[in-house]
Structure 1
Amino acid sequence: KRVVKTKDREYKASAIIVASGTQPRKLGILGEDRLLGKGVSYCATCDGPLFKGQDIVVVGGGDSAVEEVLSLTKFAKKVTLIHRRERLRATRILQERALANEKIEFVWDSVVTEILGKEGVDGIRVKNKKTEEEKEIPCTGVFVSIGIVPATKFLRGLVDMDKEGYIPTDENMKTSVDGVYACGDCRKKLLRQIITACGEGALAAFAATKYVEELKGMAYPGNSDR
């Protein structure tokens, strides 16, 4: 039996399926955690309408960041995109749409070093990577879109992971440990979409069931897929 510990209790099981997904990558700067939900967000679709007529900032430069910027222009008075490089990494069509939008301003070669505010966001501090110059940009919202990380810290040292924390599996979703399976976005793979996660979940459930049946001597002899 394996033991899964939560804040409230412990669960014992012969097999475990890990489907912990991913979470937004954080900037790791002052003010980010303290002002989360008070102007700091990781989801423009969720929180964009709350910033109607306001000046907001988006941090990032890939497809997701530019898509969020374009989405936020429907609500915001102005959207400033902060990117650490001198040009966007997003696909060409997204770049063209963003560069042509009069509501969007760009701050290149820069990183956000602090999110300012007491009860809510009232600005950010930005540093230019080339000139080392620092300045403050007034805003009431900061949307962080710099990628995702797998939610697998709780498994460190228990199953094999790649350097980013994604879990490699075989074709049946089995990890490096017998009886432990992984599926969905926390798994090491090329494509992360709902449809792939659903298929992997079905495979993991079938494989885990078969594993438990074999442990109990209940496995049906012959072809296992019938």
Structure 2
Amino acid sequence: MSVLERSGRAGRAARRAAESGSGPVAGDAEPQRNPGARNWFGLLGEVLTVGILVTLASVPLVTLPAALAAGVRHMRRFLRAEESTFALAWNDFKAAFVGGIGVAVATAALVLVLLLDIDLANSGALPGGSLIAVVGWVGLAALGVAVFTAAGLWTPQLRWRGALRAVPAAVRSDLPGALYLVATGVFATVVTWQLVPLIVPALGCVVLAVVAIPQRPRRRMADEQR
């Protein structure tokens, strides 16, 4: 093999390593923001894997917030091409478990109240039922955004109390992102209602959306301008 061939192969290997995040970038080139997302098939497989993990961990229902938080952190590590083992995800789930139960119970109670209001409004038993129904649906959407955002903000250091306190500021700073989260929740609900097993990829998509929406290009450009 000639020196030029070896040099060419070494150069191509260096470029692949730089693009994937596994190696240094050359010169003034910018490193990839999410190198783990370059392989679309790998990303699809990871979305399905995370969906399975979140679904299994959410079977008791009260563990859903903890499962989402652990799934988000796992997906974030994967996209950054960092170590993303199941052991790390399990540690995150255990750390988020206790506080997550309180979040799940409070969320379930609010969901039941809002669904009851919507049902009563649709029954015609309440005056101004249509307005009450709208308020109920808006409340459900806001609750979903709050849970998704808190799961995205949660860390073992911040914990659930800090994550929940940071939700209003996060939503105010990115109102379009909150609408995207609403659309994500509606999508997950509709596909699961149509076919229950689709909850697995739906939850995987929710986790990916929670990670990706704050990092979308429009948000990054706005942050740089500020």
TM-score exceeds 0.5: no
Q: Please state which band the TM-score falls in when normalised by the shorter chain.
A: under 0.3
